[in-house]
């Protein structure tokens, strides 16, 4: 991950934004929010989860409740159209709660790739993006002039959300197991970015040395090549299971007691356990949060994860709690809100 936060000039003031709005006031003048807010909540954040296959946008309270939400399939080929679409969706969300984008305290954007402190996307393979400046694309959207915008890599954003909204303490790792594998590291309450912004690349920890499969990074035997959703489906097909490209079918078979499918998930747990053992020995985190679609199968993998942690991690480091994130499908959307709140503080 190459991740940094863009702090716009004047965006570093602490506390409540002068442009923040009382949600109770919004309810008097606008449409009723999707969820009934607490009266005490007053700051509204705009959040854009810019995924490779979907755009998820929302207005979120400062305690992490989504009061308005839009989702659309994303067409990433034209980045200007992509961000314009995200901006329009956010304007619709704001309208739903009776405000305009300029009334939001700020907007957080999670990017499925590398993004610099200036909001320059350096590359996002999941979206097919090379380098471009994302910030001007949003600033050019109607109503966005002068709005504080903060960018972050999506998995780092998830980790920030886990801390702000999920009750995570200051020493944990966040690993996503989805189409690919990503990760983030939090130590002493801060994101660990590394010297070049690459910290937390769990997907490229080597976990298979005997029969290593080629990885998209050019290496072999990476976690992503063996334990991502794509890799699980591939291994299941190789084992003769009729799952196509969908790991969820393999999960269903495992839950029905199919011994081959159960072995696939057990071995996936071994791979995840190897990566987590490396993290445990290096960082001694208290928890590992697992997100992404494959996290739904964590119970199928947990025995193998624990077994592998016992084998590979130091006794002093292996008592790592491995938990499914509470943030669910909206993890990166909540993450975008957390990025904004982090930037405003
Ligand atoms: Zn790799």
């995924």: which residue's tokens? 51
- Give residue-wise pLDDT tens across range 13-32: 333 333 334 343 333 333 44
pLDDT confidence bin for 197, thresholds 50/70/90: confident
pLDDT of residue 162: 96
Domain of residue 124: give its range: 23-161+330-344
Using an 8 Å Cβ cutoff, are 253 and 247 in contact?
no
Spatial separation of the C-alpha atoms in residues 86 and 131, rounded to whole Å:
19
- Give residue-wise pLDDT tens across range 281-333: 999 999 999 999 999 999 999 999 999 999 999 999 998 999 999 898 899 99
Same domain, 57 and 178: no
Same domain, 196 and 85: no
Nearest to 134 by CA among 155, 159, 109: 109
From the CA atom positions of the chain, what is the Rg in Å? 20
Same domain, 183 and 305: yes
- Give residue-wise pLDDT tens across range 77-129: 999 999 999 999 999 999 999 999 999 999 999 998 888 767 889 888 778 88
pLDDT of residue 195: 84
How many angstroms is it from 169 CA to the middle of ligand 1? Answer: 29
In a domain, 253, yes or no: yes
Q: Which helix (H) or strand (E) holds 11?
A: none
DSSP secondary structure of 213-254: PB-TTS-BSBHHHHHSHHHHHHHHHHTT---TT-HHHHHHHH
In a domain, 292, yes or no: yes
- Mean confidence (pLDDT) of the chain: 87
Same domain, 174 and 320: yes
pLDDT of residue 63: 94
| Sequence-ordered list of residues with C-beta below 8 angstroms from that of 204, at least 6 positions apart, any chain | 215, 217, 219, 222, 223, 224
Spatial separation of the C-alpha atoms in residues 260 and 253, rounded to whole Å:
9
The tokens of 151 are what? Answer: 């960018």
In a domain, 13, yes or no: no
- Give residue-wise pLDDT tens across range 327-343: 988 999 999 999 999 99
How many angstroms is it from 217 CA to the middle of ligand 1? Answer: 4
Same domain, 314 and 178: yes
How many angstroms is it from 153 CA to the middle of ligand 1? Answer: 18
Question: What global pTM score does this model have?
Answer: 0.84
pLDDT of residue 199: 87
In a domain, 3, yes or no: no
In a domain, 44, yes or no: yes
How many angstroms is it from 141 CA to the middle of ligand 1? Answer: 37
| Sequence-ordered list of residues with C-beta below 8 angstroms from that of 306, at least 6 positions apart, any chain | 273, 322
Between CA 335 and CA 344, with CA 339 as vertex, the angle to 5 degrees is 145
How many angstroms is it from 215 CA to the middle of ligand 1? Answer: 5
pLDDT of residue 208: 97
Same domain, 173 and 305: yes
Mean pLDDT, residues 233-240: 97
Nearest to 25 by CA among 44, 6, 5: 44
Nearest to 270 by CA among 219, 303, 305: 305
How many angstroms is it from 262 CA to the middle of ligand 1? Answer: 25
Range 18-28 burial, b when 16+ CB lie within 10 A, else e: ebbbebeebbe
How many angstroms is it from 183 CA to the middle of ligand 1? Answer: 13
Question: Does 11 have pLDDT greater than 70?
Answer: no
Same domain, 252 and 310: yes
Same domain, 101 and 33: yes
Spatial separation of the C-alpha atoms in residues 173 and 331, rounded to whole Å:
14
- Tell me the torsion sign for CA atoms 97, 103, 106, 107: positive
pLDDT confidence bin for 10, thresholds 50/70/90: very low
Same domain, 312 and 335: no
pLDDT of residue 168: 93
The tokens of 35 are what? Answer: 């969820």
pLDDT of residue 127: 83
How many angstroms is it from 204 CA to the middle of ligand 1? Answer: 4
Between these two residues, 234 and 8, which has the higher pLDDT value? 234
Give the pairing of strands 114-115 and 120-123. antiparallel
Between these two residues, 51 and 3, which has the higher pLDDT value? 51
pLDDT of residue 117: 64
pLDDT confidence bin for 223, thresholds 50/70/90: very high
In a domain, 148, yes or no: yes
Counted residue by residue, the chain has a size of 345
pLDDT of residue 51: 81
In a domain, 14, yes or no: no
The tokens of 55 are what? Answer: 């755009």
CATH number of 83's domain: 3.30.420.40
**What is the side-by-side order of every strand in the sheet holding 120-123?**
114-115, 120-123, 132-133
Spatial separation of the C-alpha atoms in residues 39 and 219, rounded to whole Å:
53
As beta bridge partners, residue 68 has 59
Nearest to 226 by CA among 181, 193, 173, 277: 181
In a domain, 1, yes or no: no
How many angstroms is it from 220 CA to the middle of ligand 1? Answer: 6
Same domain, 225 and 83: no
Number of domains in the chain: 2
pLDDT of residue 118: 72
Same domain, 33 and 93: yes
How many angstroms is it from 177 CA to the middle of ligand 1? Answer: 14
pLDDT of residue 119: 83
Mean pLDDT, residues 185-197: 89
Residues at Cβ < 5 Å from ligand 1 ion: 204, 215, 217, 219, 222
How many angstroms is it from 283 CA to the middle of ligand 1? Answer: 21
Question: Does 132 have pLDDT greater than 70?
Answer: yes
Using an 8 Å Cβ cutoff, are 266 and 234 in contact?
no
Same domain, 190 and 308: yes
- Give residue-wise pLDDT tens across range 29-55: 334 444 444 444 469 999 999 887 789
How many angstroms is it from 315 CA to the middle of ligand 1? Answer: 28
How many angstroms is it from 266 CA to the middle of ligand 1? Answer: 21
């Amino acid at each position: 991950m190459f991740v940094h936060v863009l702090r716009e000039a004047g965006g570093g003031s602490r506390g409540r934004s002068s442009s923040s709005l009382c949600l109770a006031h919004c309810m008097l003048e606008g449409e009723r929010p999707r969820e009934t807010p607490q009266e005490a909540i007053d700051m509204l954040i705009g959040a854009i989860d810019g995924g490779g296959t979907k755009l998820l946008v929302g207005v979120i309270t400062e305690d992490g409740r989504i009061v308005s939400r839009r989702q659309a399939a994303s067409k990433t080929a034209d980045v200007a159209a992509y961000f314009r679409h995200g901006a329009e969706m956010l304007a619709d969300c704001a309208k739903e709660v009776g405000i305009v984008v300029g009334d939001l305290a700020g907007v957080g954007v999670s990017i499925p790739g590398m993004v610099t402190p200036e909001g320059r996307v350096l590359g996002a393979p999941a979206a097919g993006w090379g380098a471009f400046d994302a910030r001007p694309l949003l600033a050019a959207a109607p109503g966005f002039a002068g709005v504080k915008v903060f960018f972050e890599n999506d998995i780092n954003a998830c980790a920030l959300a886990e801390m702000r909204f999920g009750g995570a303490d200051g020493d944990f790792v966040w690993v996503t197991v989805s189409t690919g594998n990503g990760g983030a590291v939090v130590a002493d309450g801060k994101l660990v970015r590394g010297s070049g912004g690459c910290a937390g690349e769990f997907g490229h920890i080597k976990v298979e040395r005997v029969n290593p499969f080629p990885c998209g990074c050019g290496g072999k035997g990476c976690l992503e090549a063996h334990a991502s959703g794509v890799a699980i489906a591939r291994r299941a097909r190789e084992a003769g299971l009729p799952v196509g490209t969908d790991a969820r079918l393999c999960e269903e078979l495992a839950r029905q007691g199919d011994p081959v499918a159960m072995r696939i998930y057990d071995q996936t747990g071994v791979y995840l356990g190897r990566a987590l053992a490396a993290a445990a020995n290096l960082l001694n985190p208290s928890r590992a949060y697992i997100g992404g679609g494959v996290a739904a199968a964590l119970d199928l993998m947990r025995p193998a994860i624990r077994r592998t942690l016992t084998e590979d991690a130091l006794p002093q480091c292996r008592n790592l709690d491995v938990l499914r994130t509470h943030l669910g499908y909206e993890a990166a959307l909540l993450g975008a809100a957390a990025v904004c709140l982090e930037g405003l503080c």
